[in-house]
Copies of this chain bind each other. A is one copy, B any other.
Amino acid sequence: MRGTQQPTSPPAAYTPTDRTVPTRSPQRASYDKDLVHAILDEGYVCHLGFVRDGAPVVLPTLYGRIGERLYVHGSTGSRPMRMSDASDPGLAVCLTVTHVDGLVLARSAFHHSINYRSVVVHGIAHQVTDPAERQTALDALVDQVVPGRSRDSRPANKKELAATAVIRLDLDEVSAKVRTGGVSDEPEDLALPHWAGVIPVRKEYGAPQADADLSPGIALPDYLGSL
């Protein structure tokens, strides 16, 4: 290897590219892998963008992360799944995950903002054909929503697997963008007679609603208590 040493651990950051360096508020951008993974792991719904007949399409869908790979699934008949068929060169996608953390109410309309954490992934999605990787990916999709759930459900049977397509997107061209903190009004606006501050926003879970057909004696699983 021409005398080079292989690193003992993977690099801690993604390499910025022209597409992942924002033109606006670049100080909010980060390429830190731990931060990107944490933002991805807190969510389970992404917005997947692809191009159809030259125009953009953005659809909400579930995702799962395993290491440096994201997986998305869908009906084999759905458009992004057909367009990313293994016989093709793959499907150019942009996968975005956003968490809203707060409303930032400034004295000036201009400085109103949102506290948020987002991850944007650019790349080529490929269909997963290896049966073992497909199964691992489907488990990851279920566990992304409720960690531990895949072990407490019936795995997909042959018919269900045949109806499901899985695509993979490597975490390679990736950036996070984060806004935190308070109001940043202009100094000359601080004495204006408008309330200013931050309204925190968070996602809450309600009480589980058991299925009416639930067999007697099935207790609420422990893993639902830690959601």
Contacts and interface: CB of A to CB of B under 8 A. Distances in A.
A88 interface: no
Interface string A64-82: 0000000000110111000
24 contacts: A23-B77, A24-B75, A47-B60, A49-B57, A49-B94, A56-B93, A57-B120, A103-B145, A105-B153, A107-B154, A109-B150, A109-B155, A146-B199, A153-B194, A190-B213, A195-B214, A195-B219, A195-B221, A196-B214, A197-B210, A198-B208, A198-B209, A202-B203, A204-B204
B218 A193 contact: yes
A195 to B, nearest CB: 5
A23 B78 contact: yes
A114 interface: yes
Total copies of the chain: 2
Nearest to A187: B213
Contact of A56 (B56, B100, B200, B203): B56
Contact of A160 (B79, B110, B195, B205): B110
A194 B152 contact: yes
A169 interface: no
- Which 6 pairs of residues, A with B, have the shortest CB-CB distance? A200-B206, A49-B56, A49-B58, A47-B47, A60-B98, A110-B160
* Most chain B Cβ neighbours within 10 Å, of A155, A182, A196, A204: A196
A142 interface: yes
* Most chain B Cβ neighbours within 10 Å, of A74, A94, A100, A195: A195
A201 interface: yes
Nearest to A211: B196
A23 B196 CA distance: 46
Interface in A155-193: 155-157, 160, 164, 182-183, 185, 189-193
Contacts of A183: 211
A207 interface: yes
Given A45-B98, A118-B60, A105 B51 contact: no
Given A75-B23, A92-B54, A197 B208 contact: yes
